[in-house]
Amino acid sequence: MSLPEDRLIITAALTGAGHGKEKNPALPISPEEIVQAAVECEEAGAAIVHIHARAKDGKPSAEISIFSEIVAGIREKTNLIINLTTGGSRVLARDERLRVVSDLKPEMASFSCGSTMTGQYDAKKGKWSLDFTLGQSYQQLEDMARLFKESGVRPELEIYDVGMLQNVEMLSQMGLLEEPRYYSFVTGIPGQIIQGDMKTLLFLTERLPKGALWQVTGIGGRNHFAMAACGILLGGCVRVGLEDSVFISKGVLAESNAQLVRKARMIADALGKTPMNANEARDVLRLKRR
Q: How far apart are CA 48 and CA 257, in angstroms?
A: 13
pLDDT band at 190 (very low <50, low <70, confident <90, very high): confident
User: Residue 2 above 90 pLDDT?
Assistant: no
Partner residues linked to 13 by β-bridges:
50
pLDDT for 289 equals 79
Instruction: Using alpha carbons, list the distances in angstroms from residue 119 to 11, 133, 251.
Output: 26, 9, 24
Name the pairing type of β-strands 10-13 and 237-240: parallel
For residue 97, how many C-alpha atoms fall within 13 Å in the half-sphere facing its CB?
19
Cβ atoms of 16 and 50 closer than 8 Å = no
Q: How many whole angstroms separate alpha carbon 107 and alpha carbon 152?
A: 8
100 CB-near residues (< 8 Å, 6+ apart): 62, 64, 67, 84, 85, 86, 106, 109
pLDDT per residue over 245-279, tens digit each? Answer: 999 999 999 999 999 999 999 999 999 999 999 99
Q: What is the mean pLDDT of residues 193-214?
A: 93
pLDDT in tens, 72-105: 999 999 999 999 999 866 667 888 899 999 999 9
Cβ-proximal residues to 117 (8 Å cutoff; 6+ apart), any chain: 132, 133, 191, 192
Task: Report whether 79 contacts 279 (CB < 8 A).
Answer: yes
Torsion on CA atoms 82, 86, 87, 91, rounded to nearest 10: 130
Alpha-carbon dihedral of residues 135, 83, 285, 146, nearest 10 degrees? 40
Q: Which fold has domain 7-285?
A: TIM Barrel (3.20.20)
pLDDT digits (tens, 9 = 90+) for 128-181: 887 888 888 999 999 999 999 999 999 999 999 999 999 999 999 999 999 999
